[in-house]
Amino acid sequence: MLNNTQKFGKKSESIAAKFLKKNGYKILHRNYRIKIGEIDIIAKENETIVFVEVKSGRTNFAGNPKGGVTLGKQKKISMVALYYLKTMKLLDQKARFDVVSIISNRTDPLEIELIKNAFELAYK
């Protein structure tokens, strides 16, 4: 059973997936998980494979959620992305890392921000 934080995260990922579809992305996988980590959404925009991290918060009080994509998180996402590209035989494809930041509270409408090319491949 999911706790409230997990439910909020799942809802945010669904909102992000709908937002990406509306903006021309084709969703390939959600919650792609291997032992070393997970990627929230793997999508395709035109000919580019896009690995999307979804960050959400209820307010901006603690800073914008996109700030939660630390170097350590970038390294994990990068390793999972490389594994995905290798196992799917897509190493010759263009790829990038995007972040969808969602701020949601009970009174204001959602704030959704798409940051394309949010970070580079991080593996060291």
d(CA 108, CA 58): 10
CA angle 29, 45, 31 (to 5 degrees): 20
Name the range with the highest mean pLDDT among 9-13, 38-42, 108-112. 38-42
pLDDT in tens, 57-100: 765 544 555 567 888 999 999 999 999 999 999 999 999 999 99
**What is the total residue count of the chain?**
124
pTM, 2 dp? 0.88
Q: What is the pLDDT of residues 23-67, one digit of tens each?
A: 999 999 999 999 999 999 999 999 999 999 998 876 554 455 556
- Residue 1, judged by CB atoms within 10 A of its CB (0-12, 13-18, 19+), counts as exposed
DSSP H helical ranges for 23-120: 71-87
Cα–Cα distance for residue pair 60/78, rounded to 1 Å: 27
Domains of the chain: 4-119 (3.40.1350.10)
Of 105 and 100, the one with more pLDDT? 100
